[in-house]
Amino acid sequence: MHAGATPELRAATRQDLPSIVELERATFPDPWPLSAFESEIASDAPPVVAVCDGALSGYICRMLGPEELHVTNIAVAPARRRQGIAAALLADTIAFATREDCRWIYLDVRPSNEAARALYLRFGFVEIFRRRKYYIRPQEDGLVLARPVELLPRGSAKPDLKDDVPGKTSDGLV
For residue 154, is it within any domain?
A: no
Domain that holds residue 86: 8-105
Min mean pLDDT across 47-61, 87-101, 134-148 is at: 134-148
Q: What is the predicted pLDDT for the residue at 166?
A: 40
CA angle 126, 131, 132 (to 5 degrees): 135
Greater confidence (154 vs 110) lies with: 110
pLDDT in tens, 85-122: 999 999 999 999 999 999 999 999 999 999 999 999 99
- Asked whether 72 and 36 are in contact (CB, 8 A), the reply is no
Find the CATH number of the domain harbouring 23: 3.40.630.30
Burial class (CB in 10 A: 0-12, 13-18, 19+), 134: middle
User: In this structure, is residue 15 part of a structural domain?
Assistant: yes
User: Is residue 118, in this structure, part of any structural domain at all?
Assistant: no
Domain assignment of residue 158, yes or no:
no
Position 26 in a domain: yes
Q: Which pLDDT band, with edges at 50, 70 and 90, does 13 fall under?
A: very high
| Residue 141 within a domain | no
In this prediction, residue 4 has a pLDDT band, given cuts at 50, 70 and 90, of: low
| Number of domains the chain contains | 1
Give the Cα separation of 172 and 174 in Å (integer): 7
**Is residue 129 domain-resident?**
no
